[in-house]
Amino acid sequence: MIGHRLHSTKHDLATESHTPVWFLVSGLALIAVAAILLVAALGNRLYASNLSFAALAVVLVLLGFTAFLYVRAWYLERRGVYATERQFESVYRHALDAILILDDHGVCLDANPAAIALLGAHPVTIVGHSFAQFYERQQGFESQWRMFRECRYQRGQTELVRTDGGRVCVHYTISADPEGHNVLILCDVTERIRAEDSLRQSQERFQQISDNIHEIVWMMDAETKQIVEVNRAYETITGRSLESIASDPSSYADLIHPADRVQILAKLEEAAHSGRFDEEFRIVRPDGEVRWVSVKASPVPAEGNMIRQLVGTTQDVTARKRAEAQVAEHLAAAEAARDQADAARGEAEALRKATLALTQNLSMDAVLDTLLETVRQIVPFEMASVLLTEEEGRLFVARSVPASSSNRPVITLELAENPLLQRATLSKKSVYVEDTHEERDWRENKPFLGVRGWIAVPLVVSDNVLGLLTIGSATPGSFAAEHVRLARSLAIPAAVAIHNARLYEWAQIYANERQTLLKKADVSRKTEDRDPLAN
- Count of all residues that appear for the chain in the document: 535
The pLDDT of residue 210 is: 58
Task: Quote the crossing angle between the two packed helices 2-16 and 48-94, to the nearest 10°.
Answer: 140
Q: How far apart are CA 102 and CA 172, in angstroms?
A: 14
Of the listed ranges 37-41, 235-239, 307-311, 443-447, the one predicted with least confidence: 37-41
pLDDT digits (tens, 9 = 90+) for 345-355: 556 666 666 66
* Mean pLDDT taken over the chain: 79
The pLDDT of residue 38 is: 56
Name the residue among 520, 522, 512, 514 with its Cα closest to residue 215.
514
pLDDT digits (tens, 9 = 90+) for 183-227: 888 998 888 888 877 777 766 666 666 566 778 888 899 889 999
pLDDT digits (tens, 9 = 90+) for 472-527: 999 998 898 888 888 888 888 888 888 888 777 777 777 777 777 777 777 777 77
pTM: 0.36
Q: Which string of DSSP letters, residue by residue, matches 304-373?
A: TT---EEEEEEEE-HHHHHHHHHHHHHHHHHHHHHHH-STTHHHHHHHHHHHHHHHS---HHHHHHHHHH
pLDDT greater than 60 at residue 15: no
Q: How far apart are CA 55 and CA 302, in angstroms?
A: 92
pLDDT digits (tens, 9 = 90+) for 42-77: 555 444 455 555 655 666 666 666 666 666 666 566
pLDDT interval class at 262 (50, 70, 90) = very high
pLDDT greater than 60 at residue 10: no
pLDDT digits (tens, 9 = 90+) for 275-294: 889 999 999 999 999 999 99
The pLDDT of residue 359 is: 66
Query: Higher model confidence: residue 228 or residue 531?
Result: 228
